[in-house]
Chains A and B, each alone.
Chain A
Amino acid sequence: MNAWIVQQRAAFALALRRLASTPTTTLLAALSIGIALSLPAGGQLLLASLQQLGQGSSATPQISVFMALDADDKASSKVGAQLRANAGIGDIQFIDRNTTQKRLREAGLAQVIDSLPKNPFPDTFVVTPKDTAPEALEALRTELAKLSRVEHVQLDSAWAKRLSVLLNLGRTVVWLLAALFGVGLVSLVFNTIRLQVLTKREEIEVSRLLGATDTYIGRPFYYFGALQGLLGGLVACAIVYAGFAVLQERVAELAELYRMGFSLRPPSVLGTLGLLALAATLGWLGAALSVRQHLRAS
């Protein structure tokens, strides 16, 4: 068998034995790492779920132009032509009053609508402006409100834009948390390995005298760090999955009450594997930094 593989296997087995020889310390370290990693991981999952709210509506602002209730088809056609001629408008969608009524009936409001003496909805144009700057949107809204037989002009999707901005802010916070806790993980492993190097000083000295390279000496510590990170990652995944299982039903109930198309997204397989790989890599990094510093000094 290749010498390199033999040594990797031996180092991995030694790292496993060292982890198993101190179960309480190993468990506490895994819990510390897991809890720290679960916060940004859970936050990322929540943000991904919240993003669904914004996906139903375009984050690009739109303007709804409502005709007067008594405006006839001719008036609507005239306004439609004026809108199409407007250079500041990119796209126009016309929703006639009957379509609106039909959609709401299908949405479960048939009983309410049927109880009304006549169709209460106006013809509506949904306009997508070319310039989405707040001043330009406001100017266009004012201009459209002056058109003949137009009753009301409403700037839509502003909430989606606000949500989008909030999500971006949330993402930044999650990344900052992830970076912070990542540094924490590296520090924790660094210190654990430092203590191990100190307790194994005699073995390291003897190994050196027998011809061990720094790589050979450091290898079990690298595996130890990676395994410790991996265990922490598994704890983080367990926390996130448990949180998802506990909250999923409650959030669905809440969303149903508000008729929101929102549900918590379960962690993906790829995301889970990514979290585990990241945790193991950070553990390895902490160990490598510690071993490098302490072997050079000894």
Chain B
Amino acid sequence: MSWRADVATVRALVRRALNEIFRVPGAAIPGILAPTIFFLGLTSVFGSLTLLPGFTTSSYQSFLIPISMLQGAGFTGAATGVNLARDIEQGWFDRLLAAPAPRPVLLAGLVLSASLRSLLPATFLLAVGLAIGVHWPGLLGLLIALFLVMGMAVVAATWGTSLAFRFRTQSAAPLMQIGMLLAILTTTAYAPQHLLTGWLQTVAKYNPVTQVVEAARQGFVGSVSWSDTWPGLLTLFGLAAILGFFALRGMRRMTID
């Protein structure tokens, strides 16, 4: 098959996933609502943390917004895994496997749809955030944040699809969601690294997602620099490559079974 056919396959799979937004709008609401409630709630509750000496900004909503955007991406990516598990349960994915399309192309269709869908909660959160006083990150800061959000959705989707191929049931949904939630929250989500306490200070230091959080946050709490950006990009490429490998291996095993 030519590369044109591959692109057409990816486009068809992306379109199928995006159709769901229009045909089942209710399904997209939890992915938007949950991070928004967390964003508004945590801002109200922990907003005074900025009064601590050494806190990097006086606006907690600006500090928190990238976390909520990445959370939205995490939920969206996990939802891709849940939808795939549903397709496997209903036998639809078996028919897809029987098609003469390369496995990486099928995976690309799934994860690209997640990255596009993640723009929905990110845009909504950004609008809510700007309305309640989030600092404007500048065009470059915004583009970097959105690119990282889309990348995080790819990572979450490869994580979700790996689990969907492993368990082949929608019952694995909590594992997909909680995995992403923990990956994002065990970073500098609530406070800067030096203000974290106990075990989280160590975990956040070595959690690769911290680099993604810091890269997405830079425009909202300060100025944008390449030195704060590349570690986040590298982490996302690394995570997507590793989890993508597992997802492809799961898909191949499913073909053999």
Q: Is the pairing of A and B real?
A: no
